[in-house]
Structure 1
Amino acid sequence: MLHISDPSQSFRFYIDFMGMSLIFTLNTGPFVVYYLAYPGQNDRSPADIAKSMSSRAGLLELVHVPRSERNEGFSGLGDHTFLNRGFGHLGFCVPSVEETLKRARSEGWTVLKATNDVSLNAMDLSESRTSTPLHPDFLVSFRQVGFISDPDGAFKAGESPMKFGYPGLGLLHIKAKADPGVDTSFHSLSTVL
């Protein structure tokens, strides 16, 4: 996942220049999520791409927080360093989110967010960060997500198979830990799955 500052410029790069296709857009309320992928030989529409999301080699998630939702004074970070910091997480398919979280606990990894936790803090936001309530459909999906800290302090999140409707697979994310001392405005294409 990449945080972006201007969807039109991001589309110009990822769609027009890189040749990706917009699969779907999700307006969560305080932020908008765009999913992009490369079309396969048999794909004729974004719906064709969406049907095969669980077997795709790559999927790019772009997240845009509109200026009206930015609280530039929050923690002194400003809107660019927090809300448009670039790299957010990588995603992986797992057979079961609950089992992945259970196994993480048993192997000594720190679970930072259990499934069913829909608090703004679990989304790396705070109550003062957003004035727009989250869309109820987004909360249904986010309820199925979990976060696990990796050895370097990055996070992993598991997302239930129900979100995209493909049985037997969940999506596991690794989410980058924000480092206020590091400029994260430039990220290579290797961050794309």
Structure 2
Amino acid sequence: MSTDPTKYKLNHSMIRVKDPKRSVEFYEFLGLKQINKLENPDAKFDLYFLAYDSPSAVSHGNHWTDREGIVELTHNYGTESDPDYKVANGNSDPGRGFGHLAISVDNIQAACQRIEDAGYKFQKKLTDGKMRHIAFALDPDGYWVEIIGQKPLEETESVKETDTASYRLNHTMVRIKDPEISLNFYKDVMGMKLLRTSESSSFNLYFLGYGPDAPEKSANGVNPVAGREGLLELTWNFGTEKDPDFKYHDGNAEPQGFGHVCIAVDDLDAACARFEDKQVNWKKRLTDGRMKNIAFVLDPDGYWIEVVQNEKLKERSKW
């Protein structure tokens, strides 16, 4: 029994939603497609899995466990009719931790205009602030969706069209307390590669993922990993590592919002045995509870990492 971390995939990121109809509509407007739905009426929740799936998509037609760049929307029955229900979007206290999902687009100006024309709100428009090459749209629950371009701004300025079939669900961002500890964990334990680092005067961004190495610079001068899916962005604000009392919110304690990222592995039993050898902190071992086909590892900040079997590599769960 063996496992090869180079075959792992950062499969999905889970967020809780108030009204699945509105949320699915929003993400479908961004070009994603519902590729699976798991209903759990006994436990009173449903899971909606959305991903880019056009013929030109990275994982077109693949089984949902054999993909990167999925968003999982979790709906707990009744929240849609509860006027007081509200998720924590991760960007304000007391729920600060998760930051955003990010999509990369063919034409950032046209993509943002299309979203605005549809009546959706923005946390930051392209024209706001100094950073004119990124925007943040807001989904129906107030989660931030970063929009980045696959081409230089000057190339797309005069073009008024955008094709959602070319979009990618590029990354998920979470804030971390100590970069040395977190990078060590994601590289050594989870088997990810550090693909890119972006440094500023008060924070650093670290982009990790599976698959091939990334070039230092792309041919057209934009983010060299903008065309990828299933990346993890770790944001470190300088100084947090020195504060013994500092802690980010994992999204699963109150107030709830973001739930987890999920790694699909080549052999679930072998991968979990490897994690055990690495002395990880477990939220749920495979043998815990009724669900014997999923496990949850805790990262250094307490974020949950779900571990599932890639069903293309080895059939197990018949999801």
- Classify the TM-score, shorter chain: 0.5 to 0.7
Quote the offset at 1:21 in angstroms.
Answer: 0.7
The answer to whether 1:160 aligns with 2:309 is yes
The answer to whether 1:58 aligns with 2:80 is no
The alignment partner of 2:275 has SS state of: helix
Residue of structure 2 in register with 1:33 after alignment? 47
Residue of structure 2 in register with 1:145 after alignment? 294
Contact 2:37 2:49 in 1 (8 A): yes
Distance 1:11 1:5, change over 3 A: same
The number of equivalent residue pairs is: 133
Quote the offset at 1:160 in angstroms.
Answer: 2.8
Contact 2:32 2:50 in 1 (8 A): yes
Contact 2:18 2:80 in 1 (8 A): no
Contact 2:263 2:305 in 1 (8 A): no
Larger CA Rg, structure 1 vs 2: 2
Quote the offset at 1:96 in angstroms.
Answer: 1.9
% same residue: 25
Quote the offset at 1:169 in angstroms.
Answer: 8.1
Cα distance in 2 for partners of 1:24, 1:106 equals 33
Residue of structure 1 in register with 2:276 after alignment? 105
Contact 2:282 2:296 in 1 (8 A): yes
The answer to whether 1:21 aligns with 2:27 is no
What do the CA deviations read for 1:17-70 (whole angstroms, capped 9, x no partner)? Answer: x11111122111110111111113268xxxx63x34344331111110111799
The answer to whether 1:8 aligns with 2:21 is yes
Distance 1:86 1:67, change over 3 A: same
Cα distance in 1 for partners of 2:37, 2:288 equals 23
Contact 2:268 2:308 in 1 (8 A): yes
CA RMSD of aligned residues (A): 3.2
Distance 1:114 1:60, change over 3 A: same
The answer to whether 1:92 aligns with 2:263 is yes
Residue ranges of structure 1 left out of the alignment (5+ in a row): 71-77, 120-141, 171-193
TM-score normalised by L of structure 1: 0.57
Distance 1:94 1:160, change over 3 A: closer
Quote the offset at 1:79 in angstroms.
Answer: 5.1
Contact 2:295 2:306 in 1 (8 A): yes
Residue ranges of structure 2 left out of the alignment (5+ in a row): 1-13, 88-252
Amino acid at match of 1:150: D
Cα distance in 2 for partners of 1:52, 1:153 equals 29
Contact 1:37 1:59 in 2 (8 A): yes
Which range moved further: 97-106 or 21-30?
97-106
The alignment partner of 1:100 has SS state of: helix
What do the CA deviations read for 1:105-149 (whole angstroms, capped 9, x no partner)? Answer: 222212231214335xxxxxxxxxxxxxxxxxxxxxx32111112
Cα distance in 1 for partners of 2:258, 2:22 equals 16
Quote the offset at 1:9 in angstroms.
Answer: 1.2
What do the CA deviations read for 1:70-116 (whole angstroms, capped 9, x no partner)? Answer: 9xxxxxxx854569833111122222222222222222212231214
Higher percent of residues as helix: 1
Residue of structure 2 in register with 1:139 after alignment? none
Residue of structure 2 in register with 1:190 after alignment? none
